[in-house]
Amino acid sequence: MSATNTHKDTTQGHDTHGHHPALAHHFVSLEQQHEANILGMWVFLVTEVLFFGGMFTAYAVYRFKFNTMFQEASNQLDITLGCLNTVVLILSSLTMAMAVRSAQMGKAKPILGYLAATAVLGFAFLGVKYFEWKHDFEVHLIPRADFCWDYAKERRVEADHHEKGKPFVTKVLGKFIGHHEEHAPPTTDRILADKKNPESQQARMFFVLYFAMTGVHAIHMLVGFGLIAAVAFWASKGTYGPDYYTPVEVLGLYWHFVDIVWIFLFPLLYLLGAHLGAGH
Amino acid sequence: MSTINLDRGLIAGADGGTTTAPAKAPLNYLNCESTVASWLLTLDHKRIGLLYLVGITAMFILGGTFASLIRFELLTPKGDVLSGDSYNKTFTAHGVVMIFLFLIPSIPAVLGNFLLPIMIGTKDVAFPRLNLMSFYLYVGGGIFLSLALLFGGVDTGWTFYTPLSSSYANGNVMAAALGVFIIGFSSILTGLNFIVTIHRMRAPGMTWFRMPLFVWAMYATSLVQVLGTPVVAITVSLLGFERILGVGIFDPRLGGDPILFQHMFWFYSHPAVYIMIIPSLGVASELVTTFSRKGIFGYEIIACSSIAIAIFGFIVWAHHMFTSGISPYAAMVFSFLTFSVAIPSGIKVFSWLATMFKGSISYASPMMFFFGFIGLFTIGGMTGLFLSTLGTDIHLHDTYFVVAHFHYIMVGGAIMGYMGGMHYWWPKITGKMYSELWSKVSAALIFVGFNFTFFPQFFLGYLGMPRRYHEYPEELQVLNVLSTVGASVLALGYILPLLYLPGSLFFGAKAPKNPWGASTLEWTECESPPHPHNFESNPPIPDHVYDYSQLSKEAVRVSH
């Protein structure tokens, strides 16, 4: 295999005209190559919709089955951080769109800048997710042997009480840098008793789906970072211009898709129980 | 692949079939390069098709070995060859290997890869590197899966039903699930590649309704691969979460719903049946028109019926669950929808018959496989109607009737079509003619052996013999012995091509460009075997793809 596209196309007449270095031998024109690549990514995104679709189906089934407890469990998530992340991700889609635009206009430096901004916003999203997951771990909401719904509810009531009356900014900052008091973890007896409670089982199902869906979403973002790095590398070599910007556009499609998945996850997971909340 | 010798390329431009200087064979995709790397890292769709051929043949032999073990065990009513546990692992291995590693990739990955770009007049698939990656995903997943099945084994059946697979099965369920996940991506990427190729790579003049029907079948298959496979990928992932983390998505003790697994599993695995059979329907359409020397009857409707089968395939999955406790109203709807699949299938069968009517039928061996195919596929399809009827399904569910029905479709339909296709395109792929006598013997043995194997199983099922048991009451032995004897004949029928097809590479006569007088581009515009880039320049596209008025068969020249 020639890893590069230096394959000499001796049988085809159009070689003599000297074609674009990015044109693979089996395409007639850059236009055909562009259209094929874009369609390829769209078809891939269709498969992604069905991949996530399996989890959305499971979510729909259990939300219908355990409606009340899904709302209660959703209310344990942090809407403020969820909103923040939604804004961060939408901004990253904006910068990605700008990167594609820059590539189309052949501006090498802005491509790199916008790609970097996209990556930074993406990392910010995962950073916020890290703090959310860390909190879930601390209050025993990870659906494994030590899951304790009873304990998590109690911690939530304490936290609400503790934060009452504080200004919004302090509350938000407190989620990242706030000093946490030590809490005694739930005893084994309490965890075992909690396991027998159907409410706990149902809330646990919500968290299984929450971690599966946000986890798979996060994996897609990690893949996105790899793709951004690759495209940025080629962009820095001046590969992209008005004639040829296909990879940037393909990357853009992928990134927007990952963004849109979040746009569905956010209301289903965070806003579902918002009406029950005491306001974080 | 690197530089191709220009001089030899020019010679290939002359009439390659009748070149008189044997010392310098015309340039083709087989002789253009010969290093190991030029094969293992090739980006040529034709070579990738051959790589797949090696892989799926190995898997067919492996899956066939497991089948032989099953039939050997069932020779007697007592479980005397395999223990119950080993028997469970054997039929699981047979199902998993045959479905995921042989049937699903068989026609699309071998014949589809080889033919699809040629049939639409282009040089390659849209994404050659992705194509190679699909192959290595297949190899990786296949090795993984085979090792999981051979060492330790899996005893859940190929369906991996929960909570058996999540809570109770010992064995290598996780490794097998991961193998299925990886192979699933191979299948998705092949489907994606074909869809984009058909949409964007057609030669100038190759409109949608000028494409050969095999290409239409590949398009329908690819749609199913792309839309169905991701769902089974996420389903086995959730099964993995469940098994590793004990989270209980499908575990009723933790509030989960095992029926949800069945829904998600069959949402893919029923359409997967159509991934296996639609390509064979496409091959059948090519065979019947070529060997009847008559334009196909109802070209457009056959093309659209492939798409219709793909669409219907997605809305019938719950007919696997009529006895699982789904709502009776849902069952009625799914029963009705299942009946409706018979419409596009019937359209195809009647169109093939109408094509043969007053045609000039020749009895070349690919046509013999077609004759076998059309009979077995029809029986398989008709017995499907027994099972889609709610009342009879209660009686027949999970019996040998079901086993016989789907083997008539999968083996009688899909593999017969695959064999027909291999015999039809073998001269194009290898440039050699095989033994006409032995191939006819093989077709006859397969047809007879198949019917002796599986027809008795309809009776066994009707008499109440459940599937997946290694023991049975003594009064059922006669039918089981018939079945095992038939399986031995069937095995012989499959072993023969494994001998005479490779043998033809050494002893076969040189294949002319168009030995069958066929009308599609791979015969009319390509040498046998084809040039590395398929065509010297854009091929002329005829208005009607199956027009035989200007075509004549070329005689096979025996070169030695």
Q: What are phi and psi of B466, to 5 degrees?
A: -75, 155
* pLDDT value for A15: 43
Q: A240: which residues sit within 8 A by CB, 6+ positions away?
A: A103, A106, A108, A111, A234, A247, A248
Q: Which of B188, B201, B536 sits opposite A36 (nearest CB)?
A: B201
Chain A residues close to B36, C-beta within 8 Å: none
d(CA B241, CA B441): 50
Indicate if the alpha-carbon torsion angle B193, B417, B398, B311 is positive or negative: positive
Chain B residues close to A208, C-beta within 8 Å: 241, 247-249
State the best of B46, B113, B196, B236 to mutate against chain A, taking most chain A CBs within 10 Å.
B196
d(CA B554, CA B527): 12
Interchain proximity B249–A205, CB inside 8 Å:
yes
Q: How long, in residues, is chain A?
A: 280
pLDDT greater at residue B240 or residue B372: B372
Contacts of B465-469 spanning 24+ positions with Cβ under 8 A = B465/B399, B465/B400, B466/B398, B466/B399, B466/B400, B467/B398, B467/B399, B467/B400, B467/B402, B467/B403, B468/B88, B468/B91, B468/B157, B468/B398
d(CA A192, CA B317): 39
Interchain proximity A48–B127, CB inside 8 Å:
no
Tokens found for residue B306: 């492939």
* Cα Rg, chain B, nearest whole Å: 23
Tokens found for residue A100: 């594609």
* pLDDT value for A180: 67
Chain A residues close to B125, C-beta within 8 Å: 26
* pLDDT value for B7: 39
* pLDDT value for A162: 82
State the best of B198, B234, B235, B533 to mutate against chain A, taking most chain A CBs within 10 Å.
B234
Chain A residues close to B41, C-beta within 8 Å: 1
For A145, name the nearest residue in chain B, comparing CA atoms only.
Answer: B246
A143-152: b or e for each residue (b if 16 or more CB lie within 10 Å)? beeebbbbbb
What one-letter code names the amino acid at B177?
A: A
Query: Percent of chain B scored above 90 by pLDDT?
Result: 83
Instruction: Examine the pLDDT at A11 and tell me if it is beyond 80.
Output: no
| Helix, strand, coil share of chain A (percent; to 5) | 75, 0, 25
Q: How long, in residues, is chain B?
A: 560
* pLDDT value for A129: 96
Interval A190-203 mean pLDDT: 91
Interchain proximity B195–A43, CB inside 8 Å:
yes
Q: What are phi and psi of B399, to 5 degrees?
A: -110, 180
Instruction: Examine the pLDDT at B239 and tell me if it is beyond 50.
Output: yes
CB pairs under 8 A between A and B: 135
Q: Between the CA of residue B160 and those of A222, B154, B167, B237, B315, what are the distances in Å?
A: 30, 9, 11, 12, 21
Interval B476-492 mean pLDDT: 97
What one-letter code names the amino acid at A167?
A: P
Indicate if the alpha-carbon torsion angle B399, B400, B401, B404 is positive or negative: positive
**Contact at 8 Å (CB) between A261 and A217?**
yes
Q: Between the CA of residue A67 and those of A157, A206, A268, B251, what are the distances in Å?
A: 22, 10, 12, 19
Chain A residues close to B123, C-beta within 8 Å: 25-26
Interval B526-550 mean pLDDT: 91
d(CA A68, CA A125): 29
* DSSP helix/strand/coil, A65: helix
Interchain proximity A7–B1, CB inside 8 Å:
yes
d(CA B523, CA B424): 11
Q: Which of A2, A43, A55 sits opposite B2 (nearest CB)?
A: A2
Domain chopping of chain B, boundaries: 46-524
* pLDDT value for B551: 74
pLDDT tens digits for range B149-184: 888 889 999 999 988 888 888 778 889 999 999 999
* pLDDT value for B299: 96
Instruction: Examine the pLDDT at A97 and tell me if it is beyond 50.
Output: yes
Q: B218: which residues sit within 8 A by CB, 6+ positions away?
A: B108, B112, B116, B194, B198, B279, B282
Chain B residues close to A202, C-beta within 8 Å: 255
Tell me the nearest-neighbour CA distance from B203 into chain A, angstroms.
10
Tell me the nearest-neighbour CA distance from A37 into chain B, angstroms.
8
d(CA A139, CA A132): 11
Tokens found for residue A91: 């901004």
Interval B342-359 mean pLDDT: 96
For A58, name the nearest residue in chain B, comparing CA atoms only.
Answer: B260
State the best of B249, B268, B269, B534 to mutate against chain A, taking most chain A CBs within 10 Å.
B249
* pLDDT value for A14: 43
For the purposes of burial, counting CB atoms within 10 Å of the CB of B63, is it exposed (0-12), middle (13-18) or buried (19 or more)? buried
Tell me the nearest-neighbour CA distance from A40 into chain B, angstroms.
6
d(CA B556, CA B18): 11
State the best of A2, A4, A10 to mutate against chain B, taking most chain B CBs within 10 Å.
A10
For B242, name the nearest residue in chain A, comparing CA atoms only.
Answer: A208
pLDDT bracket for residue A16 (50, 70, 90): very low
* Cα Rg, chain A, nearest whole Å: 24
pLDDT tens digits for range A99-119: 999 999 988 889 999 999 999
Q: Which of A26, A52, A143 sits opposite B123 (nearest CB)?
A: A26
Interchain proximity B201–A65, CB inside 8 Å:
no
Instruction: Examine the pLDDT at A280 and tell me if it is beyond 50.
Output: no
State the best of B46, B247, B257 to mutate against chain A, taking most chain A CBs within 10 Å.
B247
Interchain proximity B531–A39, CB inside 8 Å:
no
* pLDDT value for B20: 46
Interval A31-45 mean pLDDT: 96
Tell me the nearest-neighbour CA distance from A140 into chain B, angstroms.
14
Residue linked to tokens 């049988």 = A11
* pLDDT value for A238: 87
Interval A62-90 mean pLDDT: 94
Q: What's B399's DSSP letter? A: B
Interchain proximity A13–B537, CB inside 8 Å:
yes
* pLDDT value for B11: 38
Q: Which of B127, B536, B537 sits opposite A40 (nearest CB)?
A: B127
Interval B495-514 mean pLDDT: 95
* pLDDT value for A183: 83
Q: Of the candidates B240, B244, B260, B264, which has an alpha carbon nearest to the alpha carbon of residue B252? A: B260
Least confident of A11-25, A29-43, A158-172, B164-178: A11-25
* DSSP helix/strand/coil, B432: strand
**Contact at 8 Å (CB) between B518 and B108?**
no
**Contact at 8 Å (CB) between A272 and A71?**
yes
State the best of A23, A34, A50 to mutate against chain B, taking most chain B CBs within 10 Å.
A50
Q: Which of B1, B188, B533 sits opposite A1 (nearest CB)?
A: B1
Centre a 10 Å sphere on the Cβ of residue B539 and count the other Cβ atoms it contains.
Answer: 21
Interchain proximity A26–B122, CB inside 8 Å:
yes
Task: State the SS3 of B150-192.
Answer: HCCCCCCCCCCCCCHHHHHCCCCHHHHHHHHHHHHHHHHHHHH
d(CA B507, CA B529): 16
- CATH architecture of the domain with range B46-524: Up-down Bundle (1.20)
* pLDDT value for A179: 65
Chain A residues close to B256, C-beta within 8 Å: 205
Interchain proximity B238–A143, CB inside 8 Å:
no
Instruction: Examine the pLDDT at B251 and tell me if it is beyond 90.
Output: no
ipTM: 0.90
* pLDDT value for B10: 38
Tell me the nearest-neighbour CA distance from A222 into chain B, angstroms.
18
d(CA B452, CA B549): 41
B163 cis-preceded (ω within 30 degrees of 0): yes
Domain chopping of chain A, boundaries: 27-276
Interchain proximity B254–A11, CB inside 8 Å:
no
Interval B341-350 mean pLDDT: 95
Interchain proximity A51–B199, CB inside 8 Å:
no
- CATH architecture of the domain with range A27-276: Up-down Bundle (1.20)
* pLDDT value for B6: 38
Least confident of B19-33, B152-166, B411-425: B19-33
Tell me the nearest-neighbour CA distance from B455 into chain A, angstroms.
38
pLDDT bracket for residue B373 (50, 70, 90): very high
Interval B367-381 mean pLDDT: 96
Centre a 10 Å sphere on the Cβ of residue B80 and count the other Cβ atoms it contains.
Answer: 11
pLDDT greater at residue B267 or residue B2: B267
pLDDT tens digits for range B260-275: 999 999 999 999 999 9
* pLDDT value for B163: 86
